[in-house]
Amino acid sequence: MPAAQNIQPHAWRGAVSDIMEVFRISAIRKSFGAVRALQWDEGEGCIIESGQVWAFAGENGAGKSTLAAILSGVIAADAGTITLCGQAYAPSSVLEARAAGVQLVFQEPALVPSLTVAENLLLGREAEFTRFGLHRNGLMNREARRMLADICPHVDPKAAARDLALEDQKLVETARAVSTKPRCIIFDETTAAMSSRNTRLLLDLIRRLKPDTAVIVVTHRTEEIFEVTDKLLVLKDGRFVAVRDTQKTVPDELSNLMVGREVNLNLRGGMPAAADGRHEMLLDVCGLTVDGGVSDFSLRLDRGRIIGIGGLAGAGQERILRALYGIDRASAGTVLVKGAAYQGRSPRRSIRRGMLYSPKNRDREGLIMQQKVRENAVLSILSRLSKLGIASRRAETGVSKALKQRLNIKCRTVEESCRNLSGGNRQKVVLAKLLATAGDIFLLDNPTRGIDIGARAEIYRLMNDLTAKGSGIVLVSDELQELLQMSDDIVLIRDGKVSRTFKRQDNPQESDLIRYMI
């Protein structure tokens, strides 16, 4: 790819009526070792203009995030051409891309955990708030509040980034990106970490940005694509598939372009409902209380059932799973696992009892990113695969290869680093680790976050297979349709307390769930 020629600092703001070419992308190629992440042929490309909202669509591993990373200076392309506002464009860093007016809101958290919100927002601008060598924190906090005002005014600029909920971190990153008035802003699976309310906030923001900014949305949520985008770039296995006008495309056509086949989502609605008391009790929770998060929560999970838990961000649903698994400490309540009292809970003891947990933040809590697929997949069963304290590489490889095939994890070999996988395939590795452990109680926190329609169908099929064989699942999901389609019972949480429980035969609608969440 040619070197950048005079990438000019960003000082452009088009009039609302202007239509201006922002990106011209052609014949892009990028490989990571032997893995071809992007492989466009000559003549394949697209032109992205101001006043347009584009969706990069495709399955996990299609190359969407790789293309977004190239445009935003995270990585460099191996071949192909890109122009920005008519000039050759090949940024050597994120800072260079930002200076040229291109901002990326990353898929996973990108704030510095040890810094405050204000320090993260103003990173690189410290000199503006320094006098006689001293930081003027009051001035920084006031500027940070101004930047947060339209997007997340509830966030305290003085709070440490590590203490924010995942979706609040994404909102802060969005506020930082928008504050620069970019030529182009790219949202990489940003709504995957957000509740319905904050997703709506972000979609409204995209509409406000649209008149004089090029907006690119990387998302697996087809409803968002058809709600806010004008153009579609469809990729598959790194290949260019098509460019489409969103208004001239229907959801089924998009799904077929993305996955190359008709998709059956394997929804729970097609499964026979289990009668209360028909199955053996796996988990019985009574009066669970977590200080500052959950109060007097009760739940019964029988074999063969999926219990969904929903609520607004921060309502306490994530704390419930963490307390059951033993990460967070409960101050009151009793937990029975298969009829036996479970006290002194910890992750190690939960695994021994067959209770397994998939966290929402897969990269920080679910995986060791620098390790290989094999190493992550067998992490919880190393003692089982070891002799005299020495792990059997052969046994690890055999187990991980079987899990790779079962979950259709897209990687060249099980020796590939998890860092090189797409978000959806990383999620499959997290689930592979759970399956290797052979438990029967699964605590799943947003297991389809950032996953394409094909992978989502595979995970739904896995959930149905697990329950058909006698396992039970507690599912926390920010997606109301997922709760409705995959749960036998739905427990709604408001301000840390149960506000309503629905059974499948009650036939609740989204509006019913929302009424008891807000």
Q: Would you say how long the chain is, in residues?
A: 518
C-beta separation of 82 from 71 below 8 A: yes
Q: Domain-by-domain residue ranges, the chain?
A: 21-110+184-259, 112-163, 304-329+341-515
* Sheet of 497-503, strands arranged across: 355-358, 441-445, 472-476, 306-311, 489-494, 497-503
Distance of CA 406 to the CA centre of its chain: 22
Identity of residue 463: M
Q: In whole angstroms, give the CA distance from residue 377 to residue 484.
A: 30
In this prediction, residue 266 carries a pLDDT of 61
Other CB atoms within 10 A of residue 469 CB:
10
Render the burial of 406-431: b for 16+ CB within 10 Å, e for the rest.
ebebbbeebebbbebbbbbbbbbbbb
C-beta separation of 475 from 487 below 8 A: yes
Q: In whole angstroms, give the CA distance from residue 206 to residue 228.
A: 8
Q: In whole angstroms, give the CA distance from residue 72 to residue 84.
A: 11
The CATH fold assigned to 21-110+184-259 is Rossmann fold (3.40.50)
The CATH fold assigned to 304-329+341-515 is Rossmann fold (3.40.50)
In this prediction, residue 264 carries a pLDDT of 61
- In DSSP notation, 312-371 reads STTSSHHHHHHHHHTSSPPSEEEEEETTEE--S--HHHHHHTTEEEE-S-IIIII--TTS
Each residue's pLDDT, cut to its tens digit, for the chain (518 residues) gives 544 444 444 433 333 335 689 999 999 999 887 678 899 999 999 999 999 999 999 887 788 989 999 999 999 999 999 999 999 999 999 999 999 999 999 877 789 999 999 999 988 787 788 777 777 788 989 999 999 998 999 999 999 999 988 889 999 999 999 998 999 999 998 887 787 788 888 999 999 999 989 999 998 788 899 999 999 999 988 899 999 999 999 988 888 888 765 556 567 754 444 444 446 899 999 999 999 889 999 999 999 999 999 998 788 999 999 999 999 999 999 999 999 999 999 999 999 999 999 999 888 899 999 899 999 999 988 888 888 778 889 999 999 999 999 998 888 899 999 988 888 889 999 999 999 998 999 999 999 887 777 778 888 989 999 999 999 999 999 888 899 989 999 999 998 999 999 998 898 888 888 888 88
Please tell me if the domain spanning 21-110+184-259 has the same topology as the one spanning 304-329+341-515.
yes
Largest CA distance in the chain: 73
E strands present in 338-494? 340-341, 355-358, 386-387, 390-391, 441-445, 472-476, 489-494
| 3-class state of residue 491 by DSSP | strand
Distance of CA 145 to the CA centre of its chain: 26
| 3-class state of residue 466 by DSSP | helix
In this prediction, residue 8 carries a pLDDT of 46
In this prediction, residue 11 carries a pLDDT of 38
pTM comes to 0.67
Q: In whole angstroms, give the CA distance from residue 251 to residue 254.
A: 5
Render the burial of 228-264: b for 16+ CB within 10 Å, e for the rest.
bbebbbbbbbbbbbbebebeebeeeebbebbbeeebe
